[in-house]
Each structure stands twice: as structure tokens, then as C-alpha cells.
Chains A and B, each alone.
Chain A
Amino acid sequence: MTVGKSPIRKDVRAKVTGKTRYTDDFTMPGMLEAKYVRSSIAHGRVTSIDTSAALAIPGVEAVFTFADVPKTLFPTAGHPYSLDPDHQDVADRLLLTDHVRYHGDEVAIVVARDQLTAHKAAELVLVEYDELPVCVTSAAAMADEAPPIHPGGNTIKSTSFAVGGDPKEAEQAADVVCEGVFTTPVILHCHLENHTAYAYMDDQNHLVIVSSTQIPHICRRIVGQALDMNWSTIRVIKPYIGGGFGNKQDVVLEPMVAFLTRKLGGVPVKLELEREECLVSTRTRHAQTITARAGAQNDGLLTLLDVNVLSNTGAYASHGHSIPMAAGSKFCHLYPRAVTQFSATSHYANIPAAGAMRAYGSPQLFFAVEGVVEEAARKIGMDSVEFRLKNSARPGDITSKTGEMLHSVGMIECLEKGRDAIEWQKKKKRYADQEGTILRGLGVASFSYGSGTYPACVEIAGCRLVLNQDGTVHMQVGATEIGQGSDTVLAQMAAETLGIDYDAVHVVSEQDTDVTPFDTGAYASRQTYVAAPAVHDAAEQLKGKILDHASLMTGVDRQQLDLSAGRVVRGDQPDQVVLPLEELALDSYYHKDRGGQLTAEVSVKTRTNAPSYGCTFVEVEVDIALCQVKIIEIINLHDAGTIIHPLSAEGQVHGGMAMGIGMALFEELLIDDETGWIYNGNLLDYKIPTCMDIPELDCAFIQTHDPTSPYGNKSLGEPPIISQGPAIRNAIWDATGVKIQTMPMTPKVLFSHFREAGLI
């Protein structure tokens, strides 16, 4: 049995010895290097462009401008294709543009024999602009007189829903109604490996793209759309990737390298973004303004949640309106007995394009929801944890958004366990009458999430298993390993169901769309949940074939045989070895009359979506004079169903917590409101936490078993980042009496709040 244990990760030995190859670690003779020419202004039209000086530099092979690229607008979001035209992503991109929409937009590209030459040449491309008014904030972009950033205007979409009853009645039933306006900043992913890709034409005249992507199969389709090519003539290869967090769930460089190699006779062309470009010219997390209301009765019953999201998607739609809507549908699982009203508007602005980022709109949404829920609890004089316990989802509740019954729900246990772990009651008493300028406080915040995108999108996954001559099994999956450990947990599942050792499962980690089973990739915390049934069914099938062959070889009835620890045994006597698997494998390959290569291949569409749950408890110390927050203790509690690989699961939680702390206290892309100029588009000035900034991280799992997964598991990749922001905000409030409604809660923000409150 391997599920539930923590065997050594499949990829780890290569990673600690530096042998793992990422996209930049491959090279081809004659590979050319490309470099973008980026706009120096945030909004305008190119009036002239002069490439002659760049072209005159020795070693420059070509310069292409907006005039040279196809005029077909294409979408970039890493969503599965939709058969419903109304549900397709917004197609608003060209490979290069003369209408620049943010500071850093792409107007031309230089191709040269080496990087330094490409860089020098790019600086020599002279571009003149006719400047247009710049809209950075939601207010500016949504104003009547705002200039249209795209031909259809600045509003992308506005939608709303209400579930669980009538919001007006729920409001009337409430004794208190609290309201707050919460703002969240533009956040950057900051995966350690920048975006990088190269492309060439192969001997079939097919296009080959090697890219650091989370979504090779989606990438193939979008390149086909952008360049009007048959999808089957494009081959996308994904090696190991150095982190993505959603930023590589978008098609960013691939259409361009494909375009360049086709223009240049099929020679390999590479586009490797520098860190500064990767920060501002890929995708970001949406800045949002969220108005939230909560209605509660004096007995602690939450009657109403009413949330409106204004979502700034920047210069291009990318994932666009899916972000607030996905978060909106997932948060309905947390307090299913309250009436929920949700509305959202997504709009363009002259800032970098926002796309998918870990937890896809939920960290922003829960900052507001758990902020206003906290306020309701305080207003009726109820303990923060008690209020949540009273209203949180329990097994058997009907989730109002889909009308389906909730099966595995560990929310209550998460809250109870967290309350004990942080010694909530004891510390609450201790900190009730503090004096001085260094103050402690406690905070809690909960979340709910999904395990995929169904029913918004198709959920499809594939697995192929092959029995090798030596009795081991090769596994190919469309699921992409992006550091989260999917290769490892899927190998555990295959081993478990097949009845062989974990070490006997070899995972082909690289995806190659010419040969890899179809799967849309790593996003939406779907990978383990939707690949599980494919792996399970493929393993069942292969096991059946192995036992059939064993029966052929031994004459023992198939029904009496089983596979255990890599040997064919008698089902009723697992210790009695009938046949070693190696012997069976050799026979299946080389016996002249029977057998064949034993394989199984399965493609499964998942039509369920199990909610996962959890919360953060935090204790902070606030130094009023220095305007600084120090986290004394922080713990995340998760119901992610059955935990397949505890060590990796903890790793996911730690990483999410650190990112959540970064968002709460440090990180924001600073953009000038007037000019759209980006101040801190580099790793010195955009402050992701170092190990000096992250406290000891604690986590625990409430293990449930969700019947919709063959292994009982639910999502875990994204949820760990959701609840730190509101928990820390609630703790600062608890410590100081100051209520902050904006992230990040930096010293600058604390200073102005403390000054306003008369504390300094």
C-alpha cells in the first residue's frame, strides 16, 4: 500500500543533483535568439517605427513589427476549448500591436544570432507614439469619458446570480447588516524559472515547440488558432518547469516563437524572457475592488452574503471574467445555509494583463467575505470561531449554487482543531486588556474551493500504462508535473490499484502532444482529482490483462488470481506466488503464440467537482511605532479529502501559506495612476518574501474521503493561499482595534491607519 505514505518523489534525485533539464537546458545548433521591443508608454498608437539601425547590426537576422504579423485576434487563456461560442475566451490579442495598451506592450521583435546582439538591436528600434489617455484604476477605466482600450469598450462582462433564497428577505431577517469595501493589489507569480520557449520545424514540416508551460495540449490548440494551422501539425513538448502558479496556464510566448521559426525557414528560434519582462509582460493576479455585505441574526445565524466584485483585468482579457465568476461559484460552498447574492464586472485598463494565479480570484474574494463575516460576528458580540462553526457547511448540506449534496465536509473539524492548536480561548483572554505599543491579536478566516472547473469547462484526463519486459510499468499521463508532485501521486495511485511497488512505476514526466494522452493540464487544483479516475481505470484494465495472461500461462482460473507486491498470487492466499511479474512480462512479449505488449489506455471525463475546505488561524504582534506586523504563530487546516502523499501535501500548504503571507503583508505591483508607469517591475522592488520574512509554518489535515474520487482525494494545490490575508487582517484588528480593508498591509498602510486612529 503506498497511497497515504510519502515515498521519495519521482523527480527529486535529479533535482538535488542538478540533472533535471528545464527548457533552457536544451539547446540546438544554430538556435537564434529573439527579443521583444516593448512600449515605453502605457497607452497610445504607434505613429512610426524605424528598424533600420537594428537591422544594420551584424548578427541581426530579422526584425518584425506589428505590420508583419497575422491580423487574426486570438485568445490566450489556458481554458479547454468550448463548443459553446458564448463560452469561448475573449480573442483580443495579436502577436505584435500598434495599439499599445500597457507599459511594456509588444510592438516589434528582433531575431539575432546571440542574446546580447538581440538586446542591443532591440534598443535601437525607434518607435514614436501618439499618446492616448491612460486608465489605470477601475474608476478611471469605467468612467464615461474613458478611452476605449479595445474596440468594444472597457467593460468585458458583467454578470450576477443569487442562490439559496431571496436576498431582500434574508436582509430583512437579519438583525445586523455589515458592509465593507475591500481592495486588493496586482500581484505577481514570481516562479523562479522565467517564461521561455523555442520552436523549429521538423522533417514532416510540422511545428515543434518546447516550452515552459502548464498546459501543452491547450497551447497546441491556441497556436493553431493564432497562426491558422491545423492543430495536428503542431507538437508541443513540455519538459520540467520551474514553477508556474497559473502564469504558465496562459499561452504567452509559444505563438511568437512558432511565428518566427516559420518566417525564418524553420530554424530554431528561442525567446527567453528576462526577469523584468517576465514580471510585467506575462500575466498577473487581478486587482479587485470588492463590496461585501453580511447579514446576521443576534443568535449567530448568518442570513445573507452579498458580494460585488470589480475586477481589473488589465490590457488584455486573458482569463478575464472567469476569475471573479469561478471564485463566486466556489465560495457558495462555505456558508451554504445563507442566502448568497453575487455580482461581478470585469474590465480592461492600461496595466499588465491579469490572468490565472493560484486560487483564481478566491484570495481576493475571501479577503472581503471573511472580513465582513468577522465584522458581523463582532457586531453581534459572538466569538469569531463560534460564529463560523454555527454557519459553516456540514456533510449533507445542499450547496446552493449547484443544488448538489455535499459529501465530505471537514470544515467544522478544521475550525475546532485550529482553535485548539493556537490556544484560542486562553490567548483571547490574555490579550483582552493589553497596554503599550506592542500588541498581540488573533485572527481566523475560512475558505471553500473546488476540485476542478466542471461544470464550467470539460474535465478530461488520460493515462496510458505499459508493462515492460522487466515487470515494471511505464506510465504516461497528460497531467503535467509542475513541481506540485503530480507524477509522484499518480504513480502511487497506479501502484496501489495495480498491486505493484511504487518503485516499479516509471513516470514519463515530459508531455509531448504528439504522443501524450490528452489532458488539459495543471490548473484549478484539478490534476490529482481528474487524473485519478483515468489512472485508476487504466490500472484496473492493465491488471485485468496481466491476470488474463497469467491465467493463460498457468491454467489457473483468472478469478482466483490477483496481483500483489509485483507478483501474481492466488487471491485467497496472497502469500502464495503463482508467477513473478518479470516472468509474465517476458512471456507476454516474446512467446511466439500468445500475449502481446500489455497496455491500457483510458481517457475519462470527470463530471463531479468536490468542494474542499479549510482555514487559517494566526497570532500576530503589531509594533505600533514601527508600523510593523510580526506573525507569531500561523496554522493552516485543510480538508482535502484523503491525503495521497502527506509530505508533498504539507509542502503544498507551506508554499501556499508563504505566498498568502506575501500577498497579505508585502507584495504589490506599483503603477502610476496618471501615466501607467510601472515602478517596481523587478525582484528587488517587488517584494516576495525571503526566508527571513516567513515565520514557522504549521499545518494539519482533516482527512475525509470523498466518494467522487476513487482514492477519496480533493483539491489541494491552490487552497492553501486563500485565507492568510483575511486571517492576518482580522488579527491586526483584534490586536489594535484598527480595521484594514486593503492588501498588502504594509508599514505604509499601517502608518496611515494608525495615524487616522490616533495611535501615533
Chain B
Amino acid sequence: MQSRTISMQINGKSYQEEVDVRKSLMELLRELGLTSVKQGCGVGECGACTVLVDDIAVDSCLYLAVWADNKAIRTAEGECRGEQLSPVQQAYVEEGAVQCGFCTPGLIMASTAFLEKNQGKKPGREEIRRGHAGNLCRCTGYQTIISAVEKAAEK
């Protein structure tokens, strides 16, 4: 099968990979050890595989790996600096927004993109909900997730 050689940044590090054109970005990232990227459905319904491509949130299960050529990818692994959690991660911890944790890395990235887009603004809870409608969570009822984003927005 065909492959293409692509160059990309993942969490600030440069990669050059020969990629099978049939592969999703989710599969590629997981193979490279970024297992925060979870497969929950494979059809863009659950958002567990959310990563940022050039700072835009996408479902990496519905994104061909070859499209990552010349792009900068961010995953949950890259959001903390050593022991220092990102403001979004810290807010999720403090608000109790994590239970089983399977949806968490994808949600962290959705929140990160949402807050970067709304920098300097104080989005309301309804707006936060609209910004997170692409991520399913079956544990929390979303209550503490919305609160965590609200809290992170204040930082």
C-alpha cells in the first residue's frame, strides 16, 4: 500500500515519519507512544481522540495521518511542563472533573482549544457547553467539567 513521508511537530518535537495513507492520525500518535489519544468510537462521535492540529481541535480518528504533514500536533501529554500541570489540567483536578478518565485527555484538549480561542473573555456556562458538545462523558454528567473550564478561564 502507498505511503507518504510527512514532517510534523508533536508537542514541540520534530518528527519525520513514513506513513501508510490508510492510517488515521489517532493510530499514528498511539504508535508513537502518545496513548492519551483514546479510541472511543472511530467515527467522530465521542471526542476521546481529540488532539489539536495547528491549535484547532479535531477528532484524530477521522483525520488521515498524512494530513498532519507540516502541522503542529498537541496532545494531553504535552500540556504539562514537568510536574506543572496546565491551567486546564489543574482545574480538572481541583473541580473533580475526572472519574474513569478515558474521556479526559480528549476533553482537556477540547477545553484547551476552547479557552485559547476565547482568550481574555469569560465564557458563560452555556457557551462552554456548546464548545464541548463534541466530547461525550458518561461518568460526570458534565457538571464538574463545565465548572473546571469556567475556573480555568478565570486564570
Contact = CB atoms under 8 A, between A and B. Distances in A.
Direct contact of A and B (CB under 8 A): yes
Contacts of B38: 22, 192-193, 242
Nearest to A647: B96
Most buried by A among B22, B41, B141, B143: B141
Nearest to A698: B143
Contact of A651 (B75, B136, B144): B144
A651 B139 contact: yes
20 contacts: A16-B105, A16-B108, A18-B104, A18-B105, A22-B38, A192-B103, A193-B38, A193-B40, A193-B102, A242-B38, A242-B100, A242-B102, A274-B42, A650-B96, A655-B99, A655-B138, A655-B139, A658-B141, A690-B136, A697-B141
A515 interface: no
A358 to B, nearest CB: 10
Interface string B24-57: 0000000000111111111101101000000000
A477 B1 CA distance: 49
Contact of B35 (A16, A21, A193, A243): A21
B145 interface: yes
A12 B93 contact: yes
Determine the main DSSP class of A at the interface with B. Answer: loop
Interface residues on A, range: 35 or more
Contacts of B99: 243, 483-485, 651, 655
Interface string A207-246: 0000000000000000000000000000000001111010
Contacts of A690: 133, 136
Interface stretch (A3-11, A384-392, A446-454): A3-11
B45 A20 contact: no
Query: Which 5 pairs from chain A and chain B are nearest by CB?
Result: A18-B36, A483-B100, A242-B102, A658-B141, A15-B101
B85 A192 contact: no
Interface in A631-659: 647-648, 650-651, 654-659
Given A9-B98, A245-B138, 5 more contacts: A14-B101, A16-B89, A25-B35, A190-B136, A275-B43
A20 B138 contact: no
A683 interface: yes
B137 interface: yes
B96 A684 contact: no
A83 B76 CA distance: 48
B21 interface: no
Contacts of A684: 43, 45
A723 to B, nearest CB: 15
B107 to A, nearest CB: 9
Interface string B62-80: 0000000000000111011
Interface string A519-561: 0000000000000000000000000000000000000000000
B139 A18 contact: no
Contacts of B37: 18
A18 to B, nearest CB: 2
A450 to B, nearest CB: 22
B36 A193 contact: no
Contacts of B98: 9, 11-12, 15-16
Contacts of A654: 140-144
Given A192-B48, A482-B100, A17 B80 contact: yes
Contact of B46 (A12, A192, A483): A192
B96 A692 contact: no
A14 B103 CA distance: 13
A698 B72 CA distance: 40
A116 B36 CA distance: 22
B100 A688 contact: no
A383 interface: no
Contact of B77 (A17, A483, A682): A17
Nearest to B41: A275
